[in-house]
Amino acid sequence: MKRTYFRNISLVVIGSLTLLAVVQCLWVWRSYRDAVADFTRRSESAAYKAIYKAFRMDAIPGLAVANQVRIDLDEFALEFEPVLLEQGLLQPYAVEIVDRSAGSRVIMRRHDMASLQRPHLAEIEIDDAHQFALRLAIEVPYGQFWAQMRGVVLSSVAIVLLLGIVLVYLVRTMFRQRTLEEMRRDFTHNITHELKTPISVAVAATDALRNFAADEDPVRRKTYLEMIATQLTQLSMMVERILSVSVEGRKERFNPERLTLKPLFEELVRETRLQGRDTRQIRILCPEQLTLSADRFHLRNLLATLLDNALKYGGEEVQVTLSATIEGTSVVLRVADNGCGIAREHQPYLFEKFYRVPTGDLQPTRGYGLGLYYARRVAEMHGGTIAVESRVGCGTTLIVKLPGDGEIDKTIAC
């Protein structure tokens, strides 16, 4: 899948979450505004009814006008407060009677409006001549409305968060699936190349034996036969490595024996030279008689893998160091190169199956992401560990620490 596809998915997810959060916020705000509007409407309605009962004794709203208006705020309170109490609207309030003919002069009041916090103001006609009006100020219980909506707000927040977590998880899963797809694709392409190389070399050597009279020259014949044997051995090792790391649950063959490390290092260098690689810059730092109890096949493949990686990723003038030392009760093997190094964020994943350091769409160096995973399996099979030390631009060192035993000569100077 293309990178733009996942970028678009991410934008859609972010947009969806933002839209969902905005809709939830608008819905909560709308509910809050409706609650406030309902409170003010009902409190004004209660005041209107109390005016007709207390001030306009013989009036019938909409049918008969009042022949006599008697303004008494105590009477108004006796009619107004029970209605508020009955409807659950009783809040601190204040009322004033204003004379509109005198420029809205206050001629009567009950309670002090200045003492109210964030009140709702309403002005209601008292008489049909529009001379007098009742000015009502009643506190709106904003805090109570928010408290009543707390459950709605919390549930809305919980829904948004839950959906956000689910969407983020789905996106992460899709990106992980994309990474696995790229790894499988790279694995298929690169392993085809890796398997093709020794086959091509062996075929070329065979053609030379058949077509260029190499059979008449014992030295050349021996060289080509050794080349063929080396490539077939390399091919066999690669197939064995792939099988050993790709088949889960397979029981590994483990046949430990006493190995002298320096001859093993030298053998690997010779094989590397036969493959046509420049081995002049490969240094071996290992005591002559340093031995280790290990499975020869797997340990040799482990070192071959690390050496192959060092040569692949070395600098323009490759410099590789193979070393073995004794540290406490362990034998420590190091393969160091002078290559481009590995960024810190990639180092924790180097020993995972199929993992390769991302280089975009370009793959300047072939590989199939199994070598270091195999190396880790071999180290663990021997009861040891493998680690990496690297900085970008300063090369890489792979460190294999294997347990020693009582037969290692402690007097060897390392």
For residues 51-81, one letter each, b for 16 or more C-beta atoms within 10 angstroms of the residue's C-beta and e for the rest, the string is: beebbbeebeeeeeebeebebebeebbebbe
Strands 320-327 and 282-285: parallel
Residues near 359 by beta carbon (within 8 Å), at least 6 away in sequence: none
Q: What is the pLDDT along the chain (414 residues), one digit of tens a residue?
A: 455 666 677 677 777 777 877 887 888 888 888 988 999 999 999 998 888 888 775 554 554 555 667 788 888 889 898 988 988 888 999 999 998 888 888 888 898 888 888 899 998 888 777 888 999 999 998 888 878 777 777 877 787 788 778 777 877 777 777 666 766 666 666 666 667 777 877 787 787 777 766 567 777 777 778 878 877 877 776 676 565 555 444 445 678 889 999 999 998 888 777 666 666 788 899 998 899 999 888 888 889 888 888 888 776 778 899 999 998 889 999 999 988 888 888 888 888 876 777 665 444 455 556 778 888 888 988 899 999 998 888 889 999 999 975 344 433 332
Q: What is the DSSP letter of 113?
A: G
C-alpha–C-alpha distance, residues 279 and 263, integer Å: 16
Q: Go through the domains of the chain in sequence order and give each one's CATH number.
A: 3-148 (no CATH), 257-403 (3.30.565.10)
Which residue reads 């409807």 in tokens? 87
Residues 6+ apart with CB under 8 A from 248: none
Closest by Cα among 199, 191, 208 to 246: 191
The number of residues making up the chain comes to: 414
User: Do residues 356 and 364 touch, judged by C-beta distance below 8 A?
Assistant: no
Nearest to 111 by CA among 127, 132, 130, 97: 97
In 3-state terms the chain splits into helix, strand, coil percentages (rounded to 5) of 55, 20, 30
